[in-house]
Structure 1
Amino acid sequence: MKRSAWRYLWKSEDIRKKLLITVLLLVAYRFAANIPVPGVNRAAIASIMTSAGGAGNLLGMLDLLSGGTISSFSILAMGVYPYITAQIILQLLVPIIPALERKLKDNPREGQKWMERWTVILTVPMALLSAVGQINIFNQMSQGTSVLSFTFGLTGVNLLPTLTTLISMVAGTMIGIWIGEMISEFGIPNQGLSLIIFSGIVAKIPTHIRSLVSDQQYWWLIFIILVVLALVIFAIVYVQQGRRNVRVMFPGRRVGNRMSMPVTSSLPLMVNMAGMIPLIFASSILSFPAIVAGFFLQVKTVWVANLMNGIYKLFSGSNSWYYLLYFLMVVAFTFFYTDVLFSQQNYGDNLKKQGAQIPGVTVGSQTQKYLTRVQRRITFPGAFFLGIVAVLPYVLGALLPVSARQAGLFLVSSAGLLIVVGVVRDTFTIIDTELKLHGYDESLIKG
């Protein structure tokens, strides 16, 4: 009788050490998440986070990626979001700048180190811009009530407190990145940043559950929500594991005086290669027009005020057109980001170097073109599914009373569901691999 190797999880000293280090570092991160930015007005922040509109949607997304630290405006208010942004920018620049593309192709290991180094360097100015943007957005939404105990600016007596605030926020982001790297190096491998975001999302779920349970009128919704969550999670796992296996022929090898037969293998192409990145892109871009329009709502020129008011209403997330645009943007960005990632894989040249060939397809550029067509075809259902998951909370929310929606309809957002499911699946896979590497293979353990 086979037994699961997971029962040996705590017996392996090395694995136990990695798990303990991971948990302790996550506790340290959550502790640092409660350290406020100097001079913050928490009452003003709390009132802003409950507001609706385009800026509220963007702040909600940033709050998700920062692990819930924006709502308390801690030194980790930006979380690791600037680092993720820097990664995306560099990934998008690679196919645009030929020198970067050649650098990664000629020496992948050195190219990867270069990417990691410049991602960290680019994170600093991105964090600085994000800090200034967050404070300005909060001040704009607070309707005259400053979110800080001083006037934000780089002039006069406000210079020193402003610099102190910006430095503390940038330093908080770098601390979060450092903790993530420590988890990846000494804890669960390659899961540091993902686990940091995951911990913030999971930490907010009990609050939403308490809100639903405490509302005596809509307590029954918790059962409906749990059923919907179970179905959506099952669908996410099913789609995320979806693969299209492309047949590949590897040439035979000479062993002594004999030539081995060609080997048939398969190249798995993912249905959803982009993950939750399209949701971040779409939400940020759709929220930006509402944020800009909010600065011009009070202008004296009538036609400008009316135009800005129309833009604000369209992109404020308060009408069905916004959700239709959101769905279309998620689908479009899924195709765009998948194309960028897939072109960086360069399967055509890699298979050519190995002497492999897809039957009926010429090696080299023709192979890359063929695989690109296949990838785009299988990306369509993945992109369509991602768009449905993105707007599902809003669709369900439109069918329920307002007070039920305010109680926390979906417990976590669409991007949060994708992150939670993806991190849990990847973490289990990594731990299972670690158990096998340490000799705890369930296929070899017999009772």
Structure 2
Amino acid sequence: MKKNKQIILKRLAVTIGIVVFYQILSLIMIPGVNNSALAKVSQNSGLTMLGMFSAGGFSQYSLMSLGISSYITAQIVIQLLQSEVVPKFTQWSKEGKTGREKLDKVTKVLALILSITESISITLGLNSMSDNKFVLDNNPFTYIVIGILLTAGSFIGVWLSDQITSKGLGSGVSVLIAGGIIAKFPNMIGILGGILRINEKVNWAGIIEVIFMIIVAVFVIFWFSTSELRVPVQYAQRESITGKQSYLPLKILIPGVMPIIFASQIFSIPQIILGFFKLSERSTWHRLITDIFNLQTGSGVILYGLLILFFTYLYSFVQMDPGKLAESFQRLNAYIPGVYPGNPTSNYIVRILKKLAFPGGIFLVVISCLPLIIANNLTSTLQLGLSGSSILIITGAIVEVSRQIKGLTMKQEYGSLLNNEFSLE
């Protein structure tokens, strides 16, 4: 038991240390740019979303501004392709640890390509939006150097997230994003404080209402994040030895916060592209993109909600593959009572996942979109509107860390069979 506590404390120290180190790296400025010009265009909604949900930020152009957005986008693409789209990827996804390592290498190669493209494109877009005042020396070599630096920062972030996943606590991607959001809290509190002032006096009633809403939101998010459906599982030999009932735990929020992160990454792209071209605000394309891909419009909020719902269903089946689970049951000589092994088991799990994805998806949509609707009537800043998603990501990261701590505590008691051979993560 003492050894387990030491391991947990060591992992916790590694996690906190990496998050702090990441934030220190975000203070290293990119040379050759005018940050005062950046301040005038940093409120672009696409940049705000990209910075909020990628552990980066564009309040100043730093080494870590791009964050791990390219890696997240690459993960989306590879996960879609391995779902019976590219046979080789599908085969690797069924090869256990070896297959996952191959897919991870492909993901990182794609992330490299996306990072270089995205970093140079964003720099070009920012320079265009600032009337060519952002890049000090406007030539191709400058853009290449800036692109290389931002790409290097992005891959440092990917490497640090891998270290958290393997040597720390929780998912490295989620923890880094949560850390980035927490680092933006002082600015968000300042904006909220300005809104809650009435005639230079503090609106205490408004502050109490906000605090109450945050407490309720955290409680509801925590309940949804920890609630699970326990599907009974019987083993041919284990119950007769241990006398304990086994079960397959299926969370209501199987994909966790990933649908919000995925939707945000995709949703931010059109707004960033719009900045590349100096289209007249009266042009049809400008109005169309601005209205549809803008979280400060009704159509934008609806599209954002639909994307979250779509990725909830998609990622539920990607993360909890029914076919793999059915194969694992057969390999471990296990079965669900009343359900035949093989395809019937897979189909049974599919039906359960569909039933869980709907309430889980609706919850994610409400917690993400309701604050946007409220904030759009209070302020023009997007950061407050993303507060619901931010609280969800932070709470989800904390729940994930606590679950891993609990798993490490129980590992010695239950041995290696459940932890290694039948991992559901």
Same fold? TM cut 0.5: yes
TM-score normalised by L of structure 1: 0.80
CA offset digits 1:215-235 (Å, max 9, x no partner): 632643333222111111111
CA offset digits 1:304-363 (Å, max 9, x no partner): x33542443333334322222222222122112223333376222222223323233232
Match of 1:78 in 2: 66
Match of 1:155 in 2: none
Match of 1:239 in 2: 224
CA offset digits 1:100-141 (Å, max 9, x no partner): 222332x31211222233333332112112202321332343
Deviation at 1:179, TM superposition (A): 2.8
> What are the equivalent positions in structure 2 for 1:290-305 lying under 5 Å apart?
290-292=271-273, 295=277, 297-298=279-280, 305=283
Superposed CA RMSD? 3.3
Are the equivalent residues in 1 in contact too, given 2:76–2:262 (CA < 8 A)?
Answer: no
- Note if 1:266 corresponds to 2:232: no
CA separation of 1:365/1:241 partners in 2, compared to 1, >3 Å: closer, same or farther?
same
Match of 1:128 in 2: 116
Equivalent position SS for 1:346:
helix
Give the alignment partner of residue 86 of structure 2, picking from 97, 114, 139: 97
- C-alpha distance in structure 2 between counterparts of 1:262 and 1:86, whole Å: 45
Match of 2:215 in 1: 230
CA separation of 1:329/1:363 partners in 2, compared to 1, >3 Å: closer, same or farther?
same
- Give the total of aligned pairs: 406
Match of 2:400 in 1: 426
* Percent identity of equivalent pairs: 28
- C-alpha distance in structure 1 between counterparts of 2:306 and 2:173, whole Å: 29
Match of 1:443 in 2: none
Deviation at 1:375, TM superposition (A): 0.9
> What are the equivalent positions in structure 2 for 1:200-239 lying under 5 Å apart?
200-213=180-193, 216-217=197-198, 219-220=203-204, 221-239=206-224
Equivalent position SS for 2:246:
strand
TM-score normalised by L of structure 2: 0.84
CA separation of 1:263/1:319 partners in 2, compared to 1, >3 Å: closer, same or farther?
same
- Note if 1:417 corresponds to 2:391: yes
Deviation at 1:184, TM superposition (A): 4.1
Deviation at 1:260, TM superposition (A): 7.2
CA offset digits 1:14-36 (Å, max 9, x no partner): 55544444433333221210111
Equivalent position SS for 1:330:
helix
> What are the equivalent positions in structure 2 for 1:10-409 lying under 5 Å apart?
15-50=8-43, 56-95=44-83, 96-105=85-94, 107-142=95-130, 144-151=131-138, 158-186=139-167, 188-213=168-193, 216-217=197-198, 219-220=203-204, 221-252=206-237, 265-292=246-273, 295=277, 297-298=279-280, 305-343=283-321, 346-400=324-378, 402=379, 406=381, 409=384
Deviation at 1:148, TM superposition (A): 1.1
CA separation of 1:206/1:372 partners in 2, compared to 1, >3 Å: closer, same or farther?
same
Match of 1:444 in 2: none
Which amino acid in structure 2 is aligned with residue 422 of structure 1?
A: G
Structure with bigger RCO (C-alpha 8 Å, 6+ apart): 1
Structure 1 stretch displaced more, 244-253 or 375-384 = 244-253
Deviation at 1:288, TM superposition (A): 4.1
Which amino acid in structure 2 is aligned with residue 98 of structure 1?
A: P
CA separation of 1:102/1:296 partners in 2, compared to 1, >3 Å: closer, same or farther?
same
Structure 1 stretch displaced more, 84-93 or 126-135 = 84-93
Deviation at 1:378, TM superposition (A): 1.6
Deviation at 1:382, TM superposition (A): 0.6
- C-alpha distance in structure 1 between counterparts of 2:215 and 2:86, whole Å: 43
CA separation of 1:172/1:383 partners in 2, compared to 1, >3 Å: closer, same or farther?
same
CA separation of 1:67/1:219 partners in 2, compared to 1, >3 Å: closer, same or farther?
farther
- C-alpha distance in structure 2 between counterparts of 1:225 and 1:373, whole Å: 39
